Amino acid sequence: MYHHYQLPLLMLLLFGIASCVSSRQADNMAYLYNDKAAVQYAKIQVYHTDHDSSTLFIGIPKTGLDFNVKGITELDINLLFYREGRLKKFADSIRFRTSISDSITGDYISVKKDLPIARGEQVLVKVIIHQVHTQKRWEQQHWMEKHHTTDEDNFLIRQDSASTNSVLFEPYTFVGDSLFIDYRGKRNPELLVNYYPPVRQLALPPFEMRRKAPFPSQSEADSSFYIKNGVFYPQKAGLYHLRYSPTDSFGRSIVVAEDGFPKLTTVPDLVETLRFITKKAEYKSLMTAKTPKAALDQFWLKRSGSQDRGKILIKEFYGRVQKTNKLFTTFKEGWKTDRGLIFIIYGEPDVLNKTQNREIWTYRGSSDRPSLQFVFNRKYISFSKHFYELERDPALADAWHHAVYEWRRGFIRNPSGQ
């Protein structure tokens, strides 16, 4: 299925055993959610150009790279392919080296590789990047699934029509941005766009068993229109869902945000996130306060007991909100999702076990609290391939109320980066 590059199979297998991942790293992918981990994460965007070909785009954060006096750095990139999601079922590998210039603009350095992925195939690709002459390393893994010709992997969004290094790796962009969209190898396609106001529904507590529709339906769009030549200039915040044909079941979603996102900057937005740790009457009072900024400050001062401690609480809480927006945004902001809910309250998981369709987060216990585990199942919906739903359980009620109580008493569980 794949072509071998540079290394024979035996050497690649040895490389995979010796330097790809340790057994601990293979099982625990918590580094994906920890900015201070020794191994950092790369971004991946898959683009299916036709029935037999796909392109893998790899995004490396530019801020993490070291360049020489000539403004150049070299990266060794290894792509390891597996069947069935089990690392023992090794399929093939590609290894190559590339030079990168610091003159490239944007937040990410983009590296691409064309791959012969046939329709109907699904392959796990593990990306391992080493910066030559340094100890820096990035990893990521991604399922390349080629089951549908209309889902998000059939769209490529760029922020510069003339640059191959301008791939949009984030699931969000900003009001007024210029987007250039390809579809299945077609440049400048005509696309149908459904617009929805920002999704307001928040995730329910992990013990709450009520079921609500987690996403809008196609028929509930606020407006619909066509874009010509694949060029899109979103003019207001909200959810935009792109489809090639009105009959397509799937498509590509883009959350369009105001400047500053993934950080929240307005008082109403900052107050809204407090719904997870406030009582109903308390939350209503904050939302209707005549001086909302003063009410927000007073809320945190009451929690902390002092301004200095209040600053620490605010930095941690809203830092988590910002991070969930960056990590978990799909068709709505990340902080409103199930994974965002758990991350904000409990922090980074100690252990992350990740398979094709499931994430299991484990928080280790201590002398005064039991260990906790949260299971998130991936739901393949028309708006996203990466929507994860928490397995809710009434037995989680006590642990949840205790964690919320800790926030309300000014105690931070699992401070960031520790």
What is the domain partition of the chain in residue ranges?
Answer: 9-147, 158-257, 267-408
Radius of gyration of the chain (CA): 22
Give CA–CA dist 303/296, Å, rounded. 11
Does the structure show a pLDDT above 50 at 17?
no
Contact 39, 138 (CB under 8 A): yes
Q: CA torsion sign, 298 to 302 to 305 to 308?
A: negative
What is the CB neighbour count within 10 angstroms for residue 331?
24
Section 387-407 average pLDDT: 95
Residue 417 pLDDT: 60
As a whole-number percent, the residues of the chain with pLDDT over 90 amount to: 72
The mean-pLDDT minimum among 11-15, 206-210, 258-262, 287-291 falls in 11-15
Does the structure show a pLDDT above 90 at 37?
no
Residue 8 pLDDT: 38
Helix, strand, coil % (nearest 5) of the chain?
Answer: 25, 30, 40
Does the structure show a pLDDT above 50 at 9?
no
Residue 164 pLDDT: 65
Section 270-276 average pLDDT: 96
- Using alpha carbons, list the distances in angstroms from residue 403 to 202, 305, 346: 18, 19, 7
Section 300-320 average pLDDT: 94
CATH of domain 9-147: 2.60.40.1930
The arrangement of strands across the sheet holding 155-158 comes to: 155-158, 179-183, 231-232
Section 289-315 average pLDDT: 94
Structure-block tokens of residue 204: 């329910």
Give CA–CA dist 171/326, Å, rounded. 9
The mean-pLDDT minimum among 179-188, 214-223, 241-250, 403-412 falls in 214-223
Residue 418 pLDDT: 61
User: In sequence order, what are the beta bridge partners of 131?
Assistant: 75
Section 175-191 average pLDDT: 94
More confident residue, 369 or 175: 175
Global pTM? 0.90
Contact 57, 167 (CB under 8 A): yes
More confident residue, 325 or 8: 325
